[in-house]
Amino acid sequence: MQGIGWLCVYAGAMTSSRLKTYWILLAALSALACTPVSAEASEAEASDIQFVSTEHDFGAIMDVNRYDTAFLFTNAGNAPLVIEQVKAGCGCTTPALAKKVFAPGESSEIEVSFKPRGGGRQTKRITVFTNDPDEPTITLAIKADITPFVTATPRMVRFQNARTGSGQQAVVQLEAVDPDFSIRRAYVTGLAAKHFSAQVLPRPEGITTGPWNVLVSLSPQAPWGTQYATLNLDVLGKPTPDGEPVSHTAKVTVNAKVSGTLTANATMFQIGIVEPGETFSKTVVLRHTDGQPFTVLDAVVQKGTVDGMKVDFMPSPAGEDTWLLVLTGTPVRTEQSIRGEVDIATDVDGEERISLRIGGMARAGAGRRTSP
């Protein structure tokens, strides 16, 4: 108020022609000085998500059941909280949220359902995206020590050097916590399931408990390229000696790299993780196994998930028995999958049409995680 007092003295010394103007200014300053400023008005409005805990440990569990938990939270801010997305890191974890907008002071929970796979100590993460200005991204974690009810050896069947027209076979041995378990069914699923088959082999005579063997076969009709499938083994057994029998499906990944007169140095165009807006380039080398000259007539991208992906093809400087296939593209969105197939036309008898899959992901921040 010292400034207002000074203005009054100064106004008394002014001429009448300017006195009115200063009295108006004095009234405005007085009103401003007397107006209270609330604490709420001085504080910026914002949401503030607070979790009771961001981790949950299930402890020692077996992979025959589904396990549930919940992460409790409260909007401790003074503005509505918006949970924009809740994203699991893998398919074995399923988060659920009843709604997305929460008033100041309101509490709720994110429910998480976990179907364990594999064995050993595992940590699965769930990412929560919100409009909290101080913490827009929060990571929740579930942990467990998992004992698999069934163990397959090997865990993955690879037919690495298969030739067109020949086929291959491999044996998977299956053991379980219950030595008296049985295999009810063995079957193959996936994109290339028709190129594989599975057969449960009988136990040796006189053996009634213990492991089972499953014969996995790659068909001689399997086409050139990399083939992926899943071996499913439906078993029945007791998780504990005094428990009730349960049904459980063990899964084994099966793949085959099939080549013939032509072979490639890679099983697919493996792009990896790239930054949105940046152009990637991946080269696959196609070679004639007998060292004979051949020609790539055409190469096009089919079912591509990135607009504008293309393949350039050219003879290799290494010789007439080798061609280079260069795939390029520019993803524009984060979390955009980079998928598709490259169909290749050649003048090689029996391999006039061959294909290679494309695999990768565009993700913001990928450049910062890449070593120079």
- Three-state DSSP at 9 gives helix
pLDDT number for residue 17:
47
Q: Quick one: DSSP state of residue 43? A: S
pLDDT number for residue 30:
52
pLDDT number for residue 43:
61
Between the CA of residue 84 and those of 8, 122, 132, what are the distances in Å? 57, 27, 10
pLDDT number for residue 161:
85
pLDDT number for residue 70:
96
Spatial CB neighbours of 157, under 8 Å, sequence gap ≥ 6: 170, 172, 216, 231, 252, 253, 254, 255
The one-letter code for the residue type at 312 is D
pLDDT less than 50: residues of the chain: 1-17, 19, 21-26, 28-29, 31-35, 37-42, 368-372
pLDDT number for residue 344:
97
Taking the C-alpha atoms of residue 339 and residue 361, their distance in angstroms, rounded to an integer, is 8
Check whether domain 262-369 has CATH 2.60.40.10, yes or no = yes
Q: Look at the domain 49-147 and name its fold.
A: Immunoglobulin-like (2.60.40)
Taking the C-alpha atoms of residue 143 and residue 57, their distance in angstroms, rounded to an integer, is 5
pLDDT number for residue 306:
96
- Helix 2-12 crosses helix 16-34 at what angle (to 10 degrees)? 170
> Would you call the peptide bond into 154 cis, given omega within 30 degrees of 0 as the criterion?
yes
Class of domain 150-259: mainly beta
Classify 163 in phi/psi space as left (phi over 0), alpha (psi -120 to 50) or beta. beta
Taking the C-alpha atoms of residue 344 and residue 183, their distance in angstroms, rounded to an integer, is 42
Cα angle for residues 279, 281, 283 (degrees, 5° grid): 170
3-state helix, strand, coil in the chain (%, to 5): 10, 50, 35
